[in-house]
Structure 1
Amino acid sequence: MSPTHDTVILDVDGTLADTNYLHTLAWARAFARVDLHPPMWQLHRAIGMGGDKLVAAVAGDGAEQEHGDALREAWEEEYAELLPEVRLLPGARDLVLALADRGLTVVLASSGKEQFTQHVLDLLDLPEGALAAQASSDEAEESKPEPDVLEVALDKVGEGSALLVGDTPYDVAAAAKVGAPCAAVLTGGFGDEELSRAGAVIVVDSPAALVDLPSQTWADLLHAVPPEHAATTFSPLPDPPSKAGSGS
């Protein structure tokens, strides 16, 4: 039997907080500032990877070279304007508390900026000790689907074996690269079949559904291993355009 995972790493955007579509809107407005207009469905399907990868993924290398830093700065400004609209997903707070009550080490790890993760923490309003640590993209060299932010999270709690709860194929891939299985929720807007195909060991509707899982199912998850193919990112995006302006 595989070793028991005694740490659960929780993604934030799309997993605990209903933010993926707000991020999509913020990116669309950022791109519009430089007269680029990639379709919003493509932007949505890139949410979950970091901004260091998103620009090229949806608008091509030319857009990254010409506008990358300006777009990331614009996204941060646009998303900050949307923060008052951020809401927790059903069961988000209950999930953190239930995991802590099981005696598990609970860590947050987000590809988002630390200030935005802190906003979600304020909404969660957790009692002292419920979270062991938190990590954000500000502390990681590369963002998901690379595993850097997960490695930072594990280093902070001195653990090497964990289960990730996430909502995108990028979460599944990042987890697998550190040998962690990924339990996926549908609240980020990705489908059951594609999350399963990416290598998620279970897919459920929401954080609330995870709270309601039978004890035996949780025991199975805490002994699960990621399938071998999960470390290879299942791309939910079409090939990006080759020229900066072709996303319009």
Structure 2
Amino acid sequence: MTNTLVLDVDGTLVDSNYHNAVAWFRAFRRFDLTVPTWRLHRAIGMGGDKLVTAVAGEHVEREHGDDLRKAWEAAFEPMLAEIRPLEGAHRLVASALEQQFTVVLASSGKRHHVDHYLKLIDASGVTSVSADDVEESKPAPDLVEVALRRVDGSGRAVLIGDSVWDCEAGRRAGLPVVCVRTGGFGEAELREHGASAVYEGLDELRADLTDLPMA
């Protein structure tokens, strides 16, 4: 039975959180709604199925939810080519595989975005789960649970992410969570939400791979 790393993608492996926030800002403006970018940034990591309600309320979700998600996608697509891997992303995945970890990606993003990111970090053969594979995105535990089933993760596992939403999803799925600060959340806040450890970046985390908490 191998140990499993369940890896978040946006903000953890690729530097896309701020692009996502700007795309959501532009989507809301198409409906004459202004949501401060700082508030949008703090919601990145949860899926679009939950974000509209979280930042603008249930009435906006009822009136504009699906149209806002389409507007976000239209605003985000042109930025896709600008997104770069975070330092150490390929090295982390490669080292984990070399050390006989099972690696699976669990992203609240769309499938074609995740496929693009897999190519960016040179990990095209790694199993991944996207928002298209579940009914509810993070902070619901669905993505983590489906990811573990995809790789028969019946052994010990840990979730690696960058946001409080990853912490919540991991907790609800019964996994310890280790975070990196690359998504813009502070160490104290991540620990308050349940992160067992917080690293400045992926190379620091990679150095501790064999010592990560597993459940």
Alignment partners' CA distance in 2, 1:20 and 1:220: 28
**In the alignment, does 2:116 pair up with 1:119?**
yes
- Asked which structure has the greater CA Rg, the reply is 1
Alignment partners' CA distance in 1, 2:108 and 2:157: 18
Aligned twin of 1:191: 186
**In the alignment, does 2:144 pair up with 1:150?**
yes
Alignment partners' CA distance in 1, 2:2 and 2:72: 36
Alignment partners' CA distance in 1, 2:122 and 2:45: 24
Aligned twin of 1:31: 28
Q: Decide whether aligned partners of structure 1 residues 127 and 42 sit closer, same or farther in structure 2, where only a CA change above 3 A counts.
A: closer
State whether residues 5 and 163 of structure 1, in contact with CA within 8 Å, keep that contact through their aligned partners in structure 2: no
Question: When the two structures are superposed, what TM-score results if normalisation uses the length of structure 2?
Answer: 0.95
Cα deviation for residue 111 of structure 1 reads 0.3
Alignment partners' CA distance in 2, 1:187 and 1:11: 12
1:77-88 → structure 2 map (5 Å cutoff): 77-88=74-85
**In the alignment, does 2:18 pair up with 1:21?**
yes
Matched residue type, 1:122: K
State whether residues 108 and 131 of structure 2, in contact with CA within 8 Å, keep that contact through their aligned partners in structure 1: yes
Identity %: 49
Cα deviation for residue 222 of structure 1 reads 4.0
Cα deviation for residue 219 of structure 1 reads 3.7
Cα deviation for residue 188 of structure 1 reads 0.4
Listed one character per residue, the Cα deviations across residues 42-62 of structure 1 (whole Å, up to 9, x for unaligned) are 000000111011001111111
Cα deviation for residue 151 of structure 1 reads 1.2
Aligned twin of 1:12: 9
State the SS of the aligned residue for 2:153.
Answer: coil
Q: Which runs of 5+ in 2 are unaligned?
A: none
Aligned twin of 1:42: 39
**In the alignment, does 2:95 pair up with 1:101?**
no
State the SS of the aligned residue for 1:203.
Answer: strand
Q: What RMSD, in angstroms, separates the aligned Cα atoms of the two structures?
A: 1.4
Question: When the two structures are superposed, what TM-score results if normalisation uses the length of structure 1?
Answer: 0.83
Aligned residues: 214
Q: Decide whether aligned partners of structure 1 residues 138 and 200 sit closer, same or farther in structure 2, where only a CA change above 3 A counts.
A: same
Alignment partners' CA distance in 2, 1:212 and 1:89: 16
Q: Which runs of 5+ in 1 are unaligned?
A: 226-248
1:59-98 → structure 2 map (5 Å cutoff): 59-98=56-95
